[in-house]
Structure 1
Amino acid sequence: MSEDGMIAAADGSMPDALRSDADWRLFQAALDRAALVVLGRLGHSRHPNPGRRRLVLTRSVADLAADPADPRATFWNPAGLPIEAVLDRVGIDDGTIAITGGTATFDLFLPHYDRFVLSEVRHLMLPGGVACFSKGHPRFVLPGAGLEARDMDVIESGVVQTNWIRP
């Protein structure tokens, strides 16, 4: 994200200045280890990935439905079915569930995180961009949800990664 807490520019695009090769490698490795990747519909449409098990948040289904274009993806409307029932129906009872965004997805899972890995591009501001959390900057939202900042590392020049952990 940018220093002002944005995960994309105002038009929803990811500016080159927000991209980090080191972060991308770490992110992809974490997704490879996850039992399930949860993301919003726009992210799923923009970045198809038929190799990973995906749960895609959308209002276009009543509760749960298979993605006809990807046998490893399932569409889910959180208003129609609680996450516990979803995990049972898709057969996830163990392993890491990786929440990759966007804003509504991050907001929905805020009470459930036991860990949130946040990579921040220092000195980059995206005024009017797409916020990580609707309630404010992650440095304020995550502690308010009971997470503590730990293990802050510079992963690339100008990019700091912080692990937020629920004690």
Structure 2
Amino acid sequence: MTQSQLRIEGYVILSANGMLADASGVMPPELKFDADQKFFETALDAADLIVHGKHSFEDQPRSALRTRIALTRTVPAVARDPANPKATLWNPAGASFEDACNHAGVTSGTAAIIGGPEVFEMFMDRYDVFWLSQAHRLTIPDGTGGFPGIPVKSAQDILAAHGLKPAETHVLDAAHAVDVTAWRRA
């Protein structure tokens, strides 16, 4: 499978200071906004494949129906997830992303990358578009940055350094200053 057969899209919501999780490594409820959750769920419903790490999941009513690849070090390469028939376990140290996609039975369409930080970083040079939602009035002290390198660099600087450019921005929740910007590959 070539890279061009699968459209790679990233999705994250970050606080104003670039955090995805609190000091305990958990996304705080304050970072969950109904409008952003609806945007996220709609996008995942349209995706052919969901890709995430062991701590990232969408926790939505249709989550179990989605074909997914979960990154793990518990398998040598790729394997079926015994707990979820729609999931493939993938160890990037033992197999390529294309191998994992083939194992999952998805060789075209859209792959939605939903985190965490190391997973986002793996695809930085492959994203066709990265949907960066941000809660501009919320800061999370001592949290986990959405990408490796935050807070030294901003999420926007990191995306730009990988050839993505901000395109359209949509206000999702004006009352809470939450928006989403599509960062597209030039």
Q: TM-score, normalised by structure 1?
A: 0.94
**Which residue matches 1:26?**
39
Q: Identify the match of residue 107 of structure 1 among 100, 104, 121.
A: 121
Say if 1:152 and 1:160, in contact at 8 Å, map to a contact too: yes
- C-alpha displacement of 1:120: 0.2
- C-alpha displacement of 1:47: 3.8
**Which residue matches 1:10?**
23
Alignment of 1:139-154 (within 5 A): 139-154=156-171
SS state at 2:52 partner: strand
2:56 alignment partner AA:
G
- C-alpha displacement of 1:147: 0.1
Q: Which moved more, 1:30-39 or 1:127-136?
A: 127-136
Alignment of 1:1-167 (within 5 A): 1-44=14-57, 47=59, 49-136=63-150, 137-157=154-174, 158-167=177-186
Distance 1:55 1:130 in 2: 23
2:125 alignment partner AA:
P
> What percentage of residue pairs aligned between the two structures are identical?
39
1:8 alignment partner AA:
A
- C-alpha displacement of 1:55: 0.2
Distance 1:71 1:39 in 2: 16
**Count of matched residue positions in the alignment of Structure 1 and Structure 2:** 166
- Runs (4+) of structure 1 exceeding 4 A deviation are none
RMSD of aligned residue pairs (Cα, Å): 1.4
Say if 1:50 and 1:73, in contact at 8 Å, map to a contact too: no
Unaligned runs of 5+ in 2: 1-13
Say if 2:17 and 2:140, in contact at 8 Å, map to a contact too: yes
SS state at 2:24 partner: coil
Unaligned runs of 5+ in 1: none
1:92 alignment partner AA:
V
- C-alpha displacement of 1:65: 1.0
- C-alpha displacement of 1:16: 2.3
Distance 1:78 1:128 in 2: 29
Closer, same or farther: CA 125–64 of 1 in aligned 2, 3 Å: same
